[in-house]
């Protein structure tokens, strides 16, 4: 009996000196555990240990635990496309993908819309038509108004910014200009120019010579009554008198429009009908850029438009601009 007890004690002593012990539980198979590692007494079991602790033990990455509430992803692992994904994420990498945040990606993608309804168009200037292969056998415009409208639109559209003149428009009342919603303002824009009075308030359209001089317009348009220019007027004497009065105003000799001979007198009749308004726009455009309208004869234009609108050629002088030809 004593011998048996000694053998048992000896076996227990050997087990304690071997450096290994076995831990068992009701649901856990017997697993050998090294001594010197964390034990139940330290409050942590193998299944509860963190990834960093386990990785430090083995020097390798941890295995994925299917029961874990959070998964770790290898940043070097290739990505995959999931058919059920609701949002595509673009990041830097191979190819020409867009790198940036989701908001930046949406803005980048929104620059091209396959369902856009508007189409960008380019208007070719009339003088470039032959270079573009325009057919000489093309049908002529069905009316004088159509012909001159297209001509004006194409030539003003071909202007460079530096070629667009600033226009001072004066009504039949001296030193009174026009508001930005007026038909006269629209005529200036149609002629490919800018209105120097566009920022004035509607109740403050009376100006003085100092204001006009500071604006230094490249073109001056003065509207005159029918008794000066219009139907039945066969002499330019009254128009010459009005022009002389304009040129004699204080400080006007330094204005670009006066120095370059770009002062235009228009009959108020030209503002009363759409066809004659087109003629007025052409006359302003021709005064602002005479080199672009060398092929347009003002008298012939007025005759064609007047005959088309009223059935007869208008008789009278409707504009006055004694500036020399370009």
Using left for φ > 0, alpha for ψ between -120 and 50, and beta otherwise, residue 36 falls in left
Half-sphere exposure of 68 (CA within 13 A, CB side): 14
If you classify domain 164-320 with CATH, what class do you get? alpha beta
Query: Torsions phi, psi of 222, nearest 5?
Result: -120, 120
For the whole model, what pTM was predicted?
0.58
Is-contact 23 33, C-beta < 8 A?
A: yes
Q: Could you state, in order of their start, the residue ranges of all structural domains in the chain? A: 164-320
At 280, give phi and psi (nearest 5°): -65, -40
pLDDT in tens, the chain (326 residues): 656 656 556 666 555 554 444 444 444 444 444 444 444 444 444 444 444 444 444 444 445 556 655 545 455 555 555 455 444 444 434 343 434 444 443 333 323 333 434 433 344 445 544 443 344 444 455 799 999 999 999 999 999 999 999 999 999 999 999 999 999 999 999 999 999 999 999 999 999 999 999 999 999 999 999 999 999 999 999 999 999 999 999 999 999 999 999 999 999 999 998 999 999 999 999 999 999 999 999 999 999 998 888 887 889 999 999 865 55
Can you read off the two tokens belonging to residue 305? 């438009």
Helix locations, the chain, DSSP H: 2-17, 51-58, 102-109, 144-157, 183-190, 209-215, 237-247, 256-259, 274-288, 298-310
Alpha helix (H) residue ranges in 68-157: 102-109, 144-157
């Amino acid at each position: 009996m004593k011998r048996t007890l000694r053998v048992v004690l000896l076996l227990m002593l050997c087990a304690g000196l071997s450096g290994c012990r076995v831990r068992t539980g009701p649901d856990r198979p017997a697993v050998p555990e090294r001594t010197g590692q964390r034990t139940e007494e330290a409050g942590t079991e193998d299944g509860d240990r963190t990834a960093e602790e386990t990785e430090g033990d083995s020097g390798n990455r941890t295995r994925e635990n299917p029961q874990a509430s959070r998964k770790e992803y290898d940043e070097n692992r290739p990505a995959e496309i999931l058919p059920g994904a609701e949002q595509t994420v673009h990041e830097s990498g191979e190819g020409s993908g867009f790198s940036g945040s989701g908001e930046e990606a949406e803005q980048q993608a929104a620059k091209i819309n396959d369902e856009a309804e508007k189409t960008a168009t380019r208007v070719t200037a009339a003088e470039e038509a032959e270079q573009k292969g325009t057919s000489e056998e093309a049908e002529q415009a069905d009316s004088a108004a159509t012909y001159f409208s297209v001509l004006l639109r194409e030539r003003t559209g071909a202007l460079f910014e530096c070629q667009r003149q600033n226009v001072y428009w004066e009504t039949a009342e001296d030193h009174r200009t026009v508001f930005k919603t007026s038909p006269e303002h629209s005529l200036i824009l149609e002629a490919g120019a800018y209105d120097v009075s566009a920022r004035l308030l509607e109740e403050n359209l009376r100006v003085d010579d100092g204001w006009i001089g500071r604006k230094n317009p490249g073109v001056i348009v003065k509207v005159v009554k029918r008794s000066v220019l219009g139907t039945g007027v066969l002499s330019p004497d009254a128009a010459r008198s009005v022009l002389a009065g304009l040129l004699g105003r204080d400080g006007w000799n330094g204005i670009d429009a006066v120095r370059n001979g770009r002062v235009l007198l228009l009959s108020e009749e030209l503002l009363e009908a759409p066809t004659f308004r087109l003629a007025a726009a052409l006359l302003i455009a021709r005064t602002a850029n005479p080199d672009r309208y060398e092929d347009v004869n003002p008298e012939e234009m007025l005759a064609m438009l007047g005959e088309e609108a009223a059935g007869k050629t208008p008789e009278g002088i409707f504009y006055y601009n004694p500036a020399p030809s370009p």
